[in-house]
Amino acid sequence: MSVRYGTVVLTGATSGIGEATALRLVGRATTLIALGVESDQDAASVIDGLRRVGSAEVHYIAADFTQLSEVVAAVQRVKSLATPIDLLINDAGVPGSPERIVTPDGFERTLQVNALAPALLTRLLVPTLAEGARIVNVGSSAHRVEHFDFDDIDLQREYSPVMAYARAKLAMLTWSSLLAEEEASSSLTVVALCPGLNNTPLSAAMIGKIGGPPAHGADRVLNASVVPLASGSYLENDRVVSPSADGLDPDNRARLVALFWERLAPFAGSPSRTP
């Protein structure tokens, strides 16, 4: 792939598919702003490795997505480093934990990290995106095995790791297409994808060591970042497919917007737009 990038922001850049994606981007981007949950010290070996193998100017920002205030702080640091942004890749994610966890913000952890935090980060960065920029959201075909339950969105009544992960990815994919609708009159392209089954720490935590190397998922992420696509597209196996019916249902979509704004408006501003 000979495509060159300007400034790229990549979340989840320190492990799994995110790290594999970062390793490809450092040879093709002018500037890579990598976000991860690790401290600067703990991420140093990964970031130093990226700098050794590529020509990009690499910056690292530590941000714990279980705290939405850290997302806001990370956005301020991104803005101070390089704008405009040509490509934003939302790859950060966590598996469903063995037991239900509530974040300091009061929300179920898997939903917050995999859906709420990326939506907040993106909303705050949209004004800094370049003309013709692309937003790539890494989802999962696992969203097809679950359904929305807005009366128990934080899984207080019933919880399992797979349920938490699948519902969070369903929320993320639905939000991705809502964002595409909102930005339809702009030059932005919003794309979501399933990177396939990859042997990563995330997948190993839920289903064991199975699937191909993270590099395979990274290839799909980068494919989604460059191939000509209609905004709002969702890819599985590098092909445009329809997400599950739950994500297309108008009532679900309206309720998700309301839920996101209820939770994100204190950090993102006016609820007049999709988070």
Q: What does the pLDDT look like over 262-273, one tens digit per residue?
A: 999 999 875 446
CA separation, residue 170 to residues 94, 119, 214 (Å): 14, 13, 22
Burial of 15 (0-12, 13-18, 19+ CB in 10 A): buried
- For the entire predicted model, the pTM comes to 0.93
Position 19 confidence tier, pLDDT thresholds 50, 70, 90: very high
What value does the CA radius of gyration of the chain take, rounded to a whole number of Å?
17
Q: What does the pLDDT look like over 59-100, one tens digit per residue?
A: 999 999 999 999 999 999 999 998 899 999 999 999 999 999
| From 5, 60, 159, 165, active-site residue | 165
CA distance 169 to 102: 17
Pairing of strands 57-62, 129-138: unpaired
Annotated catalytic, 165? yes
Report angle CA 48, 86, 8 to the nearest 5 degrees: 15
